[in-house]
């Protein structure tokens, strides 16, 4: 935020930030809260004293604090941590609190007691805050970044200057690809449609929450399944099927599965596919039966003639648009052992 001129786009209506937090994971969570504490958050619209253009409808400070506190209070003990980083031109403070009863209580007190004055001080440097948050990502934990802001970048950062957000997003997507890291960009600037679109399409682990949909959606980490048994083995001598049990690494397994998607990827030019169907979905476990699909109608018969058959590959599986889960597989040809009796 410029001391002389405010370049932000402000909301003209009050915003309710009472959205649900629905995050379940087996890993401990490293929660990084980037909190824009520039003066526009408390309703200032210019740099002229004594009231600095205060507009009550632009003051979203109370709602934001309540949303931050809800994130904290809705979290269950997981041996994780809350990192709360208020920022303006830079991150002003680095505060950490354990995710236990006393730690959550201290974190709530910190948020309630943090002072934001009406007099403009500094700029809104989202790039610096997000960039430095990346250095606090812990590869041993599940990382969740909550970035709260009501504005856009209005100061120079790095080689791209004021247009730095694009490169920061690219850096984040590259750095966190394939990792257990998620960012919720909670942007309350309704005018910034172009950047919201770029963020949404940048990579799967960025979710944009705007003023228009903040009351409609929950902050939910995408479902990621983990197979308990691997590799799966398909024996062409039997019914060429195998059962896998999944648990949820991230998110929750829905009570009702609407769609399954399974793709067979194997070595060699075999006319095979794979079918899947749910056989059990209870107690946090999802049991799925995978069956080889003989596309030509003759492929499995041919494979039965190959001695020491061992086709290596994988099944790429998802449910209801969840993240893909890869399951190693072997396709073998092994006759079931027979026990012969000789009766005299």
In this structure, are 53 and 159 located in the same domain?
A: yes
16 is a domain residue? no
Asked if residue 249 and residue 196 are part of one domain, the reply reads no
Give domain status of residue 344, yes or no.
no
Whether the predicted model's global pTM rises above the 0.75 cut: no
User: If you average pLDDT over every residue of the chain, what do you get?
Assistant: 84
d(CA 224, CA 246): 10
pLDDT tens per residue, range 243-294: 999 988 767 788 889 999 999 999 888 999 999 999 999 888 999 999 999 9
Same domain for 132 and 157? yes
| pLDDT for the residue 343 | 55
CATH, residue 314:
2.60.40.10
Question: What's the domain range around 107?
Answer: 21-220
Give the tens place of pLDDT for each residue, 12-38: 344 454 444 444 445 788 999 999 999
> Domain holding 192: CATH number?
3.40.50.410
Same domain, 235 and 307: yes
How many domains does the chain contain in total? Answer: 2
């Amino acid at each position: 935020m410029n001391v002389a001129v405010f370049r932000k786009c402000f909301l003209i209506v009050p915003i309710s930030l009472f959205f649900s937090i629905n995050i379940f994971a087996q890993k401990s969570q490293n929660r990084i809260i980037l909190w824009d504490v520039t003066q526009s958050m408390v309703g200032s619209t210019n740099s002229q004293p004594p009231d600095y253009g205060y507009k009550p409808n632009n003051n979203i400070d109370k709602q934001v604090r309540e949303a931050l506190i809800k994130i904290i209070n809705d979290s269950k003990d997981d041996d994780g941590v809350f990192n709360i980083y208020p920022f303006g031109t830079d991150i002003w403070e680095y505060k950490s609190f354990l995710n236990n009863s006393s730690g959550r209580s201290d974190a709530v007190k910190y948020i309630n007691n943090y002072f934001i004055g009406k007099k403009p001080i500094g700029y809104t440097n989202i790039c610096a805050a997000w960039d430095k948050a990346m250095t606090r990502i812990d590869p041993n934990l599940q990382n969740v970044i909550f970035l709260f802001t009501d504005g856009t970048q209005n100061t120079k950062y790095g080689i791209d200057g004021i247009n730095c957000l694009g490169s920061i997003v690219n850096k984040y997507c590259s750095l966190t690809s394939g990792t257990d890291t998620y960012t919720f960009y909670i942007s309350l600037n309704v005018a910034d449609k172009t950047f919201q679109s770029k963020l949404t399409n940048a990579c799967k682990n960025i979710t944009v929450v705007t003023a228009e949909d903040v009351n409609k959606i929950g902050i939910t980490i995408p479902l990621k399944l983990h197979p308990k048994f691997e590799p799966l083995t398909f024996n062409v001598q039997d019914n060429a099927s195998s059962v896998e049990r999944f648990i949820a690494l991230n998110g929750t397994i829905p009570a009702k599965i609407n769609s399954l998607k399974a793709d067979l990827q194997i070595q060699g030019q075999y006319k095979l596919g794979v079918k899947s169907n749910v056989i059990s979905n209870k107690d946090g476990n999802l049991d799925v039966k995978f069956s080889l699909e003989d596309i030509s109608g003759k492929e499995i018969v041919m494979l039965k003639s190959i001695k020491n058959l061992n086709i290596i590959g994988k099944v790429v599986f998802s449910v209801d648009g969840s993240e893909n889960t890869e399951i190693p597989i072997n396709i073998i040809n092994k006759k079931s052992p027979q026990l012969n009796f000789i009766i005299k």
